[in-house]
Amino acid sequence: MPPTPSPHTPRAVVLLSGGLDSATTLAIAKAAGFQCFCLSIDYGQRHRAELQAAAAVAAAMGASEHRVLRLKLDDFGGSALTDNSIAIPVDGVEAGIPVTYVPARNTIMLSLALAWAEVLGSHDIFVGVNAVDYSGYPDCRPEYIEAFERMARLATRAAVEGATLNIHAPLIDLGKAEIIQRGTELGVDYRLTVSCYQADALGSACGACDSCRLRRAGFVAAGMADPTRYAA
């Protein structure tokens, strides 16, 4: 059981995918003294195991609450992550924006986090984007996060009433190895996390997609044993 937070403990909404980055982000938010409300979006991603991983991570890290919101982005299609007719690339990270990019995903997720933050009376949103060892998605870049924050500061009742909304992206300048080191210091159990774009129902990783490659290289660079369960 997590200790009961004081009513004065500030609240944060943490976007939690169930992957390595968002688990580390949750640990950072908690270490910064926030009462953490974790939000996962079931957007029709084919790697369903990440949602179970998110629940396990939220419980292990003592989150105050974990919600999964259903949003059928697969109706729009346009991404290998939501459209089963587009194959997940397994031949290495290529230049340009890959087919695993989900149109406007971070904008949508941050918007939903903003809505929940407003209802919770929270002025802080944490998101685990990073722009170093990443897949080249436009909505992971620092200038994008800054623009979202500027917009969010005009969007809400709290903003009109004088509060300042903060979008925290504490991993944005970190490499994968640094992220793993930081999370390990903060007690993240990476066995619980699922990063693979095509993880099986048990959360076992393919070892070949971009996300698996970046993750595996991170553990190697951090000089740590890789706790990932790979499919046989």
Residue 160 interacting with its own copies (CB under 8 A): yes
DSSP 141-158: SHHHHHHHHHHHHHHSHH
Figure out which of the listed residues 86, 90, 93, 115 binds its own copies, where binding follows CB under 8 A. Answer: 115
- The number of beta carbons lying within 10 Å of the beta carbon of residue 86 is 15
- Closest distance between its own copies and the C-beta of residue 23, in Å? 23
73 binds its own copies (CB under 8 A): yes
Q: Interacting stretch for its own copies, rule CB under 8 A, among 27-35, 53-61, 151-159, 190-198?
A: 151-159
Is residue 126 part of the contact set for its own copies (CB under 8 A)?
no
Q: Is 37 in the site for its own copies (CB under 8 A)?
A: no
CA dist 131 → 135, 175, 185 (Å): 8, 8, 22
Please report where in the chains the tokens 């992550």 appear, as a residue: 81
Among residues 81, 76, 56, the alpha carbon closest in space to that of 66 is found at 56
Binding residue (CB under 8 A) for its own copies from 32, 90, 159, 206: 159
State how far the Cα of 189 lies from the Cα of 167, in Å rounded to an integer.
25
144 binds its own copies, rule: CB under 8 A: yes
Q: Does 156 bind its own copies (CB under 8 A)?
A: yes
3-state secondary structure of 190: helix
Closest distance to its own copies from the beta carbon of 160 (Å):
5
Nearest-CA neighbor of 196 among 180, 176, 184, 210? Answer: 210
Q: Which residue in the set 5, 78, 89, 207 belongs to the binding site for its own copies (CB under 8 A)? A: 78
d(CA 25, CA 128): 5
Choose the stretch contacting its own copies; rule: CB under 8 A; options: 17-25, 144-152, 174-182, 221-229: 144-152
Out of 107, 166, 184, 204, the only residue in the binding site for its own copies (CB under 8 A) is 107
**CA distances for 187 relative to 22, 50, 67, 82, 126, angstroms:** 14, 20, 22, 32, 18
Single out the segment in contact with its own copies by CB under 8 A; choices: 52-60, 105-113, 173-181, 198-206: 105-113
Q: What is the largest CA-CA distance in the chain?
A: 55
Residue number with CB closer to its own copies (155 or 172): 155
Q: Per CB under 8 A, does 15 bind its own copies? A: no
The binding site for its own copies (CB under 8 A) comprises 67, 69-73, 75-78, 97, 101-108, 110-112, 114-116, 118-119, 138-139, 141, 143-144, 147-148, 150-157, 159-160
